[in-house]
Amino acid sequence: MDQKLKIEMYKTILLSRRLEERIAELIKAGRVGGFMHAGVGQEALQVAAIANLRPDDYLMYAHRGVAYWVARGVPLEAILCDLAGREGGTNRGKGGVMRVVYPKLGVLGESGTLGGCFPIATGAGLSIKVRGGDQVVLCFFGDGTSNRGTFHESLNFCAVRKLPVVFFCENNGWAVSMPTERSTAVKDISARAAGYNVPGVTVDGNDPEAVYEAVREAVARARRGEGPSLLEGKTYRLWGHWVGDPENYRSREEVEKHWRRDPLPRYEQKLMGENILTEKMKSEFEAEVKTRIDKAVDFMLKQPFPAPETALEDVFA
């Protein structure tokens, strides 16, 4: 992996983290009424995986954090307006932060039902095959969602038809308040790939370079027409399920242990050890990120809320 890509991934992880921190401040201050499922701790996995996509590929994101859209290139202003329910976003203030849709970069939105992402990703993969293209679909989901019937049906269909879909499980150990070991029979979600005769790979989800390489191989396989892969990144959500979650289902000791493996400072230290990142560069990046976020927040706060009559618009094609 070249140095330029490493720095770009680091900057995107940093931007995603700082944006989410700012959003949390806005929510707690009552300036934004949006509801956000925090992704702090999982940005490295999301950013590194998406770094493998071409502009014409498709993305099905999951319900955790903003890094998916930041990494894909959706403007920060649009992300914030979607979160705040204001005009100026991708869904004109009517969908919320879990309904970001950006067709020009293949961002297909998200199903309101966990597990609804799988048939949509499968349909997009089938469309690619019917058209004879070499695009891929990257579909994120959580460990709890892997227990839905749509996961197994979709993975089987993709395997049979050799559709170009990369299924990526963000295994953070918790399905809201349910620990994975109490809900899931297998230790590794990737082990389920064997039932569908597709590759199954588990990587350290807090290591962006390991994630990047695993997704790179799966994407290349899909582009060659060899079908889907099932990837799993072991990670952890350092914040609660939502901003304001009391988190009374897990111990402080557990959370503190995982903060010591926070992927952002961990990657910073790695890049500094390789003489790719310096303290001066880090300070410059922090300043650049703050400027971008300040500008986006100012834009969002100036946007109006959608007029009531627009609720009747855009309801069908």
Per-residue pLDDT tens over the stretch 132-180: 999 999 999 999 999 999 999 999 999 999 999 999 999 999 999 999 9
> What DSSP character marks residue 305?
P
Q: What angle do helix axes 263-273 and 43-50 make, rounded to 10 degrees?
A: 60
**Nearest-angstrom CA–CA distance, 307 and 258:** 44
101 burial (CB, 10 Å; 0-12 / 13-18 / 19+) is: middle
Residues pairing with 178 in the sheet = 175
Is residue 34 scored above 70 in pLDDT? no
Q: For residues 218 and 109, which has the higher predicted lDDT (pLDDT)?
A: 218
Instruction: Give the ranges where the chain is alpha helix by DSSP (H).
Output: 3-28, 43-50, 67-72, 76-84, 117-131, 149-161, 180-183, 208-223, 252-259, 263-273, 279-302
- Tens digit of pLDDT for each residue in 62-76? 989 999 999 999 999
Distances (CA, A) of 209 to 5, 89, 225: 10, 32, 25
- A 10 A CB-CB count for 121 gives 27
**Nearest-angstrom CA–CA distance, 9 and 124:** 27
- The pTM (predicted TM-score) of the whole model is 0.96
Is residue 98 scored above 80 in pLDDT? no
